Amino acid sequence: MAERKHSSVESIPSFKEDFPSLPLDANTLQTLVEDAQDWAHANGLVMRSPSSKSSSDSCIHAPFSLLPAPFPAALYRQALQVQDATARLYHRIAYDTQWLLDAHKDVVKTDEFTRNLCDILKKVTDEGLSQRKTLVIQRSDYMSHKDPFTSEYTLKQVEVNNIASSMGGHSERVSSLHRRVLALLGMEPGRIQAAIPHNKPITMIARALFLAWKEYGREDGVILVIVEDVNQNQIDQRHVEYELAEQGVNPALIKRMTLTQCEKSLSLDSSRHLLLDGATVSVVYFRAGYSPDHYHSQKEWDARLTIERADAIKAPWIGLQVANTKKVQQVLAEDGQLELFISDFAEAASVRKTFAGLWPLDGSDPVAEKIIKHAQAKPEGYVLKPQLEGGGGNFYGDEVRDKLLHATPEERSAFILMEKLRPLVIESYLVRAHQPTQLVEAVSELGVYGYAFGDDADVPVVATGGSLLRTKGKLVDEGGVAVGAAVIDSPFLYEFRGE
């Protein structure tokens, strides 16, 4: 589902002309915060309380910004326009097993988690895939980066998420909330519609899963959702299930299980159908499995192998998860690598244009070695990233220098070095449960949702639909909502004129 387009560029507001004047007076602020918190609880913008992560009997509103974040409209459009190409790119990479194994040949020496993923990939590829179709529900994350030489803002990719792309339900609710807040502040409906983009990622995600479920061809087929043992953000996941029911899937066919539970309850028959207590599984939707914390023992890895050997359609299959590492992101930035998978010059250029500076740490690149020395001298300009997904684990500032100086060559090869982006700084009211709401200087990260569905023989079906904005304090390094650093936001689109 494509995003709804604005009627014209001229309809998009100028930030200085249309955005509410800050700070808000105390009475207005209190009234808006109370209204927004009530709206959040009434409309499912909630998550489990920190003290009750295993149960929904006690919930708080999800952290959100009171007002949308100014974001250059041209960069937002660019992020939407490049999403289909990004989804196709990773779909193609996932089926090139040898390229993936070669890319990770040094990483697996010290990174046990990536090694286990690569081992499963090689095993199921050597056996022959029972199911060649796969679904990637993707979120590509970007920042508006101020170029240090031109001072212009450009769109730069932070990372791509091929597994467990989250916050879609909360994101579309925050967009609706922000339309309400702007209306309460007196903004005209036409201006609100122009500034806050149409945002329905859950509809797109559910449609993608429904497409995979129908493709498998069993009306009684189970959609198995792989979940964490304890999940504070379970309500956000439930919105996908509820929308699946709206699209025609019997809710009784949607099952949630941890990998530990899967090891006990899943089996393969002689035709490699995946059976859950005797019922055939059509689709396996991973909302967990991206972190070492989700694999407590060999049992969880055995369950993952069983799933990958089955003919159920995986969202995503193991190839897409191996393609989701920071190492792949870095290798794609090398000359000629991206073009192995995108033959169209213009399409390849549109994707490459979003790449930030990325360098290997395995000693293979003389240019990278010079950059590493510069990073040791000026670490504030770089970020050191491991392969882990799900937020956290990056190194900043002096930690970059220390890690580069003291890590062994093999340890260094498990990381990539990335230039630290310089995003647009805004003012934002961050609203968190049981905390005072204050106006802070903040930065935002834009995620665009899309999917690709198909096999390695044909061009996959792709679609783009919806976005997520996460906003955090200007001085906060880690940016995930799940790790408590960021709030959920939505973009206030405007034509950037050097404001």
Q: Transcribe 321-384 into DSSP letters.
A: HHTTSHHHHHHHTSTTTGGGT---HHHHHHHHTT---EEESSS--HHHHHHHHHHHH-GGGEEE
Q: Annotated binding site, which residues?
A: 139, 159, 161, 237, 326, 385-394, 396, 445, 470, 472, 478
pLDDT at 364: 73
Q: Is 326 a catalytic residue?
A: yes
**pLDDT (0 to 100) of residue 392:** 62
**Cβ atoms of residues 319 and 100 within 8 Å:** yes
pLDDT per residue over 362-408, tens digit each? 877 788 889 999 999 999 999 999 987 655 689 999 999 999 999 88
List 44, 159, 191, 291, catalytic entry: 159
Nearest residue to 287 (alpha-carbon basis) of 246, 210, 233: 233
pLDDT the model gives residue 9 = 37
Residue 496: pLDDT band with limits 50, 70, 90:
low
Average pLDDT across the chain, whole number: 93
Catalytic residue among 48, 88, 139, 256: 139
Neighbours of 127 (CB within 10 A): 11
CA 94 – CA 493 distance, rounded (Å): 34
Active-site residue identified among 77, 309, 385, 412: 385
Distance CA 106, CA 97 (A): 16
The verdict on residue 292 lying in a domain is yes
Which member of 168, 289, 390, 454 is catalytic?
390
pLDDT score of 445 more than 50: yes
24-33, 46-55, 305-314, 472-481: segment of lowest average pLDDT:
472-481
State how many domains the chain has: 1
For residues 140 and 444, give the distance between their C-alpha atoms in angstroms, rounded to a whole number: 14
Tell whether 236 is covered by a domain: yes
Helix, strand or coil for residue 120? helix
Known binding positions for ATP: 159, 326, 385-394, 396, 445, 472, 478
**CA angle, 394 as apex, 389 and 399 as ends, to 5°?**
165
In a domain, 361, yes or no: no
Catalytic residue among 65, 116, 140, 161: 161
Question: Confidence band (pLDDT; 50, 70, 90) for 3?
Answer: very low
Q: CB within 8 A of 432, min separation 6: which ones? A: 63, 487
Q: What are 27-32's contacts with CB under 8 Å, separation 24+? A: 28/185, 29/66, 29/429, 29/437, 32/66, 32/181, 32/184, 32/185
Termini Cα distance of the chain: 33
Tell me what pLDDT residue 58 has.
93
Scored b (16 or more CB within 10 A) or e, 137-150 reads bbbbbbbbbbeeee
Catalytic choice (3, 241, 308, 389): 389
Q: Is 81 inside a domain boundary?
A: yes
Host domain of residue 78: 9-356+421-494
Check whether 243 has a pLDDT greater than 90: yes
Residues making up the binding site for Mg(2+):
159, 161, 389
Residue 411 lies in a domain: no
pLDDT tens digit sequence for 69-94:
999 999 999 999 999 999 999 999 99
> In this model, does residue 452 exceed pLDDT 70?
yes
Asked about 166 being catalytic, the answer comes back as yes
Choose the catalytic residue: 77, 326, 401, 403: 326
Reported as a pLDDT band with limits 50, 70 and 90, residue 482 is low
| 157 vs 17, residue with greater confidence | 157
Can the peptide bond before residue 197 be classed as cis, meaning omega within 30 degrees of 0?
no
pLDDT at 158 over 60: yes
Residue 373's closest CA among 418, 408, 404?
404
Tell me whether residue 62 is in a domain. yes
Residue 218 pLDDT more than 50? yes
Strands 69-72 and 491-494: parallel
In a domain, 111, yes or no: yes
pLDDT for position 4: 39
Phi then psi for 383, rounded to 5 degrees? Answer: -130, 135
**What share of the chain in percent tops pLDDT 70?**
93
- Residue 470 annotated to the active site: yes
Active site residue 385: yes
3-state secondary structure of 393: coil
pLDDT at 366: 84
Let me know if residue 341 belongs to a domain.
yes
pLDDT of residue 335 exceeding 60: yes
* pLDDT given at position 365: 79
Q: How far apart are CA 443 and CA 434, in angstroms?
A: 23
The pLDDT of residue 368 is 85
Query: What is residue 274's predicted lDDT score, i.e. its pLDDT?
Result: 99
Range 348-355 average pLDDT? 98
Helix (H) or strand (E) holding 412: helix 409-412
**Distance in angstroms (rounded) separating the CA atoms of residues 40 and 32:** 12
What residues form the annotated binding site for substrate? 139, 237, 470
264 has catalytic annotation: no
